[in-house]
Amino acid sequence: MDRSLGIVIPAYDPDIQRLERYLAALHDEFDPETLRIELDAPDEATLDAVGRLPAEVNVVPYRRGKGAAVTAGFEALETGRYCFLDADGSTPAASAREIVDALDDADLAVGSRRHPEAHVVGHQTVARRLLGDGFAWVARRLLDADLYDYQCGAKAVTAETWAEVREHLYEPGFAWDVEFVAMAAALGRRVVEVPIEWEDAPGSTVDPLRTALDMGRALFVARHRAKRIQDSRLHGALAASRPEPVALVDREEG
């Protein structure tokens, strides 16, 4: 089993000092073969600051979205295991280690803030918690993966599983997380949930209401695509009546 590790961090307008501390902690915890930042739409000051950090940096002059950034980062890796983590460092390096190590017995390991054994520091607002909990409740009833948390920005996957899942991913934004889990489960890959320590970081760029609406739509789309993978005649017929979308890995940047 190839245990070499590549870590991807999608970043848009990151807190540089926080990111620098996080990179240092990840280097200390893992000494990964690759630590790569996928940086979207930086201004000159951000570009200069990130360029001095101890990581590979891929810069795109526009905002791709989290899903597109992580996908691009994973496509550039040549390791046996892939992990992505949010740039705000909400998942401590020690918890990231538990997620990566879970791949010893799984194909996809999903960090979980909502698991009963998770430890959350600095809770989200009530509105964001209720939206997240409600989404997870619905997702458990629609998808093959039975999890407490589908959206946590800390997941790890084997290179073999990524090679199978990659062509089924279409969502460029935050909905990519649930699509990723749904496709892996639909393909029969073993998905495990890992309770983590998690710190709610201030200054989120996410609009809770808009994100909730987008995620609700994406959940039903992910269910549809999962059923197509499993050869559902109904969902195959529905897909035949619509234009075929282009997977993220097949899209040209621009």
Whether residue 101 is contained in a domain is answered as yes
Whether residue 252 is contained in a domain is answered as no
Whether residue 164 is contained in a domain is answered as yes
Q: Is the overall model pTM greater than 0.85, yes or no? A: yes
Q: Coil, strand, or helix at residue 36?
A: strand
Whether residue 202 is contained in a domain is answered as yes
Whether residue 249 is contained in a domain is answered as no
The CATH number assigned to the domain holding 171 equals 3.90.550.10
Q: Coil, strand, or helix at residue 99?
A: helix
pLDDT at residue number 30:
98
Whether residue 139 is contained in a domain is answered as yes
> In the chain, how many domains are there?
1
Whether residue 253 is contained in a domain is answered as no
pLDDT at residue number 216:
74
Whether residue 103 is contained in a domain is answered as yes
pLDDT at residue number 184:
96
Residue by residue, pLDDT tens for the chain (254 residues) are 899 999 999 999 999 999 999 999 999 999 999 999 999 999 999 999 999 999 999 999 999 999 999 999 999 999 999 999 999 999 999 999 999 999 999 999 999 998 999 998 865 565 666 677 777 777 778 788 889 998 899 999 999 999 999 999 999 998 899 999 999 999 999 999 999 998 876 655 555 556 666 777 888 888 888 888 876 655 455 555 577 789 999 997 65
Residues spanned by the domain of 91: 5-243
